[in-house]
A and B are shown apart, each in its own frame.
Chain A
Amino acid sequence: MSILARIKSFFGMEAKPDKEASQEEVEKVAEEKAKPRIGYIHLSGCTGDGMSLTENYDILAPLLTDMIDIVYGQTLVDLWEMPEMDIALVEGSCCLQDEHSVHELMEVREKAGLVVAFGSCAATGCFTRYSRGGQQAQPNHESFVPIADLVKVDLAIPGCPPSPEIIAKTVVAAINGDMDYLQPMMDLAGYTEACGCDLQTKVVNQALCIGCGTCAMACQTRALSMTNGRPELNENRCIKCGICYTQCPRSWWPAERINQDLGL
């Protein structure tokens, strides 16, 4: 079954456009739809992605109580056996030397309808790409890969962490079956080898850079600056999260959505 059909069948609805994640809509959705079962799987990440989720104070209470059921997650649910889930949010990359992580990820793929790489560690490996092992408590833990290297990923939400806003927008779009909004996340599921140097190879080298500065603005570690109208990467600061290229207006261009959001 296609990912579109799968999401739609989970929520028993057809795709429809949706403008904003407003309080009213959140409540409306909460009343109308069966609650999707969500699991939160924590691999090698810092919990920053989950914390960013909880920063959606205004919609968090109705989200957790009325809109979704959290059915699995360390510290969230008192359950050892992984249940069937509609959506699994996976935070963190997967350590190849840690058999528990590998098994858990495999099991997630079996038990979850949709697997979401939630945050850049899961999506691109991010910071954990630099791991070279040789440290306590497990000196042989050295190989950390984006989860799409091991299992099929349906959606990726990069960010270190993803902003509270993109999380809210994505949740509401998913529950509303707004597939147009989610399309870029489906496309980004294939973007697993990210680096600040993508700006050079995929934008500047391709005669597409216009020197707007969006990449440098978006960089979450200030690894980028603008020199003579072009991004300049400080490799020592780059964590390979992929946000610079993801936000670049010359990587992909969601024209219809922007016009819709602006009322144009």
Chain B
Amino acid sequence: MVLGTYKEVVAARSTDKQIQKLAQDGGIVSGLFCYALDEGLIDGAVVAGPTDVMWKPEPMVAMSSDEILAAAGTKYTFSPNVWMLKKAVRQYGLEKVGTVAIPCQSMGIRKMQSYPFGVRHLADKIALMLGIFCMENFPYESLRTFISEKAGVDFDLVEKLDIGKGKFWIKTADQMLTIPLKETHGYEQNGCKVCLDYVCELADVSTGSVGTPDGWSTVFVRTDAGETVFKQAVEAGVIETKSMDDVKPGLGLLEKLATDKKTKAMKVIDERKAMGLPVPFKGSGEKEDPLANV
């Protein structure tokens, strides 16, 4: 259960060459949003769009494939996408909204759907939530420290950021720089330390690079809504899949990382409770499965 409830898990990638080139890994989020837009399954999607400041995203409502692709790739700092959902419905007039969310964002959205105290006419308009695996998130200044100080490169020269194989990767046009992940520790935001969700357990479909080879993504199909869209996209040939049994490193690595995150977070939660600090989650002694996301 460290990977949450799901109907199916596969290795997958977008078959579109342009998406493959622009996307972080398998282009699952870009591919599914473009497909869902084309098919009218969503009217638009809230994504982490580019701004004038390199690597500092802002939530934006993408209404076309071009806008989706402009937002492709992982940013590793805050993009409060949930904020933009209301605008997507009220100002853009969307009836079926897609959104990409990291686990904490998915929790804000799902809580709003189950308990929409002050949020009117929005809960039922979230048509597709694509979740991204997330170990932690960094304030923008932390990111600047990695890039400008530790790696010593100009922000504007950076073409891609990535985390994998124990390293933080910074790719420019002519070089590939790395920082050991150990050196990034202490720079993550503190709120991540009580988070028990690595694989976005509450999304309709969740995806990330871990578990599959370069250029592919691991995909969990979780809800009925997610299953409908994902199956259609695969049948339409927009997404190609492989069994997780046929790829390396496979689910084992995901299970390990998810367990690590949950174990560490559980310890912090228990410590906070012992100190009398507030924390919305149950302590390890209060629940049956100490690693459950409750």
- Interface, chain A (partner B; CB < 8 A): 52, 120, 157-160, 162-166, 169, 184, 202, 206-214, 216-218, 220, 225-226, 228-229, 241, 243, 246-259, 261-264
Contact = CB atoms under 8 A, between A and B. Distances in A.
B78 A211 contact: yes
Interface stretch (B31-39, B145-153, B173-181, B186-194): B186-194
Nearest to A163: B120
A249 B124 CA distance: 18
A14 to B, nearest CB: 22
A202 B201 contact: no
B155 interface: no
Interface in B133-154: 137, 139-140
The listed residue with most A CB atoms (<10 A of its CB), out of B80, B86, B112, B113, is B80
Nearest to B224: A263
Contacts of A263: 223-224
Interface in B230-280: 277-280
B108 A213 contact: yes
Contacts of A218: 86, 112, 117-119
B132 interface: no
The listed residue with most B CB atoms (<10 A of its CB), out of A52, A120, A253, is A253
Contacts of B84: 213, 217
A229 B189 contact: yes
Contacts of B105: 212-214
B59 interface: yes
In the complex, the 10 A-B pairs of residues with the closest C-beta atoms, listed nearest first = A213-B80, A229-B78, A214-B108, A213-B83, A243-B118, A255-B294, A163-B120, A210-B191, A210-B104, A249-B107
Nearest to B222: A264
B195 interface: yes
25 contacts: A158-B117, A162-B118, A163-B118, A163-B119, A163-B121, A165-B121, A202-B278, A208-B278, A209-B189, A211-B80, A212-B102, A213-B59, A213-B80, A213-B83, A214-B82, A214-B108, A217-B83, A220-B118, A228-B140, A249-B104, A253-B107, A258-B114, A261-B110, A261-B113, A262-B223
Given A217-B82, A226-B83, A249-B104, A206 B278 contact: yes
Contacts of A247: 108, 111-112, 115, 117-119
A123 to B, nearest CB: 10
Interface size class of B (residues with CB under 8 A): 35 or more
A259 B5 contact: yes
A228 B139 contact: yes
Contact of A241 (B110, B118, B120, B279): B118
A261 B114 contact: yes
A206 B118 contact: no
A250 B280 contact: yes
A264 B4 contact: yes
B202 to A, nearest CB: 6
Given A216-B83, A249-B280, A264-B5, A165 B108 contact: no
B116 interface: yes
Nearest to A159: B118
Interface in B51-103: 59, 77-78, 80-86, 102
A56 to B, nearest CB: 11
Interface in B1-57: 4-5
A255 B140 CA distance: 30
A206 B202 CA distance: 25
Contact of A264 (B111, B118, B201, B279): B201
A226 B86 CA distance: 14
Contacts of B77: 229
Contact of B191 (A160, A211, A264): A211
A226 B56 CA distance: 13
Nearest to B268: A207
B123 interface: yes
A256 B117 contact: no
